[in-house]
A and B are shown apart, each in its own frame.
Chain A
Amino acid sequence: MLQDERRTRLANAMAQAGIDAVVVYGNAWQGDYLRYAADYGILEGHGIAVVTAGGACELFLDSAVEAERAEVETTGISIRLAPEIGRAVAARLDRIANHRIAVAPNRLLPNFLADPARGFRLEDGTALLDRLLMQKLPGELDALRRAAKMADEGYAVFRQAAIPGCRQYELCGTVETFLRGKGCPDNFMIVGSGGRDVLGMTPPSDRRIAPGDLVTTELTPAIDGYYAQICRTLVAGRATEAQRRAHALYLEALEAGIAAVKPGATAADVARAENDVFRKYGLGEYVTDRYTRVRGHGLGLFADSKPHILEDVTTVLEPGMALVVHPNTYHPEVGYMVLGDAVLVTETGAEVLIRTPRELFEREA
């Protein structure tokens, strides 16, 4: 079982670092550390797992429905309903206060537990978990491949549903309905529709798709907790020459970025390869943080994992890492455009997981 392999790996990493226990925090926004340690996908409230040497895991949850859900959805761990979760975890840690205890992610730990007045001392164990999250096991890579297949299928549904007159939230609802019907429990998705007035993507609004709109999405379904992303742009109607020209630039940038993915390269190398294409065409301004956030990012148990693909991120790529490469940004002639594929870092380069053609799709009513 994948969860057992992860727990063993975590226990080994703890032993190697001389750590006796790790305190792992999670919520529905940043749930990857908790999912790794406890194999639980939290939706509501705080969740804190205490993992001790040997891999024994106690999961504290402050939501009663989450605690009930965890009892059914997890195996091999102890579940504690703790409405006063900080105090309950503190009481647990008091029993091992003379041991070395690490916490991840450190900055999100509830304030009560970080109070220096507590009887235990917590070290920052974020980097220890980050390494495990980035360098994936074969079973994790397999889950990502299956999630990417779901992303392809989800985007096919998106393309069909994105017709003029459809409201953005209805479009997203159609995709979510499809994913639930396929047994896929979670998805990260943002959208945009319009023209030069659209500077980025957000959750869906009640704006209706209009003829000629660029309709963009990042669609990121999760399988067994692992998120894989596809980014595509379609035109509601026939694409203009300007839209085609712009898309060709994004395609060139995506191909350059993926070509840069190889062991030993850095996240910065990938970002630079993408951005150099924009700079070549005099659009360097549009790869700055005024117009775009990142040029891709890690994938895994969080849809926006480390490393971020930026020109100042020096994380070295290694086989077993998963990324989405996406030169998504604003184009001054046509508006916000996206194009991106999930990839795995292999011994020789990149394995592209997404099968959907890298086209500027046209969707007529």
Chain B
Amino acid sequence: MRRGLIAWSKTELPEAALAGRVARTQAAMADAGLAALILYSNNTRPAAASWLCGFVPYWSEGIMVLPRVGEPYLVVALTKRVQTWIAATSRVAKVVSTGRFGLEAGKEILAAGGGTVGIADLDGFPSGIAAELRGTGLGLVDATPLFADLRSKADPAELALAARAAAIARVALAQASARHDESGMMIAAVEGEARARGAEECYVAAATDLAHDTRLKRHEGSSPLGRSYAVRATVAYKGSWVRATRTVFRATGGSAHIRQGAERFAAAVATLPHSSGFAGVRSWLVEGCRVAQPLEALAGSAVAEPRVLPPGGLVSVQACLDVDGEPIVLGAPALLGARGEPAALLLSPLYDEGG
């Protein structure tokens, strides 16, 4: 449940940026013959609705309805008392509070003339809400390809927010140091920095002893840190999500390994959308937002059926490499080339030694 800063800054995300996304979506809806588009949102799948109207529920759930003509509106399970907060953080025409929001949304759409309703991520849409919508007599179709296509290329406003999220992640990860000797205080330092800088969300995961296990986990309690450890910060800032990961050597002599690993990592990222650069690494992962999940697995060593990486799309990349027998785990957000250019990292995976 979110307890970071959820706010709509009209300087960072001008109304024109949201209005432009709405207009592009409505044009695609008209071409597809959709009367309305429905996007489900909860605090784990907020990215579709937030892209169009800024709405991020701190808990509970709701749906955003975009009619083919007019402004989007929200039908949510959050109570009426929270409507002022929703109105302050979202660009919507109205907010309807109800426990049965599938039913109410259906009534609203029918009152506006009905027609075919597209749902982005229909397969993952909660079945109870889908049943309520169908109960009103509306026909539902899957609008995932339509929405994913619109969403795939990052626009300037999204890039700017991602850059800010990446900057927060970087300064947060910089708090992890060789001086930390147990995970609890290290994780607190990383997460505390991200939240103090206005992160909407921050998940910190760590592999506390890379010589033993390179997999990253969320920590309950505290564990001693090994000779080298890895820490990952997943940071959301005003609806934009990035993941960044660094390796810290607590013993001297690790900086050369990290530098070499970072160079290999950046070179591999540059080859995206092809995966040839990752040949020989232990594991790798590319994530990005297609519909509602902020960071969805798109390609990687554990992804059996990779998706097409979108030209001009924002992704977060993570890899575990061996450098002279030392495991190095690194990760950073990146921008894919829009016309075949090499992808580029949004932040350097190198940090000051000891800091």
Contact = CB atoms under 8 A, between A and B. Distances in A.
B42 interface: yes
Contacts of A68: 215-216, 302
Contact of B192 (A41, A64, A173, A187): A173
A27 B44 contact: yes
Interface string B285-305: 101000001111100101101
A16 interface: no
A72 to B, nearest CB: 4
B188 interface: yes
Contacts of B243: 65
A200 B198 contact: no
A113 B184 CA distance: 40
A81 interface: yes
Interface stretch (B11-19, B81-89, B264-272, B340-348): B81-89
B296 A63 contact: yes
A187 B4 CA distance: 11
B94 interface: no
Given A107-B126, A183-B219, A29 B3 contact: no
Interface stretch (B57-65, B108-116, B154-162): B57-65
A31 B1 CA distance: 11
Contacts, number: 198
Contacts of A290: 80-81
B230 to A, nearest CB: 12
A111 B122 contact: yes
Nearest to B86: A202
Nearest to B79: A293
Interface string A185-214: 101111000000001101111100000000
A106 B129 CA distance: 11
B196 interface: yes
A81 B126 contact: no
Interface residues of B, number: 69
A182 to B, nearest CB: 7
B7 interface: yes
B128 A200 contact: no
A107 B5 CA distance: 30
B297 A200 contact: no
Interface stretch (A43-51, A248-256, A262-270): A43-51
B123 interface: yes
Contact of A64 (B123, B131, B187, B297): B297
Nearest to A109: B127
A27 B185 CA distance: 27
B128 A29 contact: no
Contact of A185 (B6, B192, B219, B300): B219
B250 interface: no
A218 B185 CA distance: 24
A84 B296 CA distance: 11
B24 interface: no
A193 to B, nearest CB: 13
Interface residues of A, number: 68
Contacts of A27: 42, 44-45
B196 A206 contact: no
B5 A72 contact: no
A189 B296 contact: no
A111 B43 contact: no
Contacts of B122: 111-112
Nearest to A220: B1
A111 B195 contact: no
B79 A29 contact: no
B353 to A, nearest CB: 24
A91 interface: no
Interface in B221-271: 221-222, 232, 234, 243
Contacts of A199: 81, 84
A188 B81 contact: no
Nearest to B292: A45
Interface in A105-146: 106-114
A288 to B, nearest CB: 11
B126 A109 contact: yes
A148 interface: no
A209 B4 CA distance: 16
B213 A183 contact: no
A62 B196 contact: no
Interface string A278-320: 0000000000011111000000000110000000000000000
A184 interface: yes
Contacts of A177: 188-189, 191-192, 195
B298 to A, nearest CB: 9
Given A69-B205, A110-B125, A111-B123, A29 B43 contact: yes
B297 A63 contact: yes
B130 A111 contact: yes
10 contacts: A43-B44, A44-B203, A63-B297, A64-B287, A108-B128, A172-B3, A202-B58, A223-B220, A289-B80, A303-B1
Interface of B: 1-7, 42-45, 58-61, 79-82, 84-85, 122-131, 184-185, 187-189, 191-192, 195-196, 198, 203-205, 213, 215-222, 232, 234, 243, 285, 287, 293-297, 300, 302-303, 305, 307, 318
Given A29-B42, A64-B287, A178-B188, 4 more contacts: A45-B296, A110-B127, A180-B184, A204-B5
Interface of A: 27-29, 41-46, 62-65, 67-69, 71-73, 81, 83-87, 106-114, 169-170, 172-174, 176-178, 180-185, 187-190, 199-200, 202-206, 223-224, 289-293, 303-304
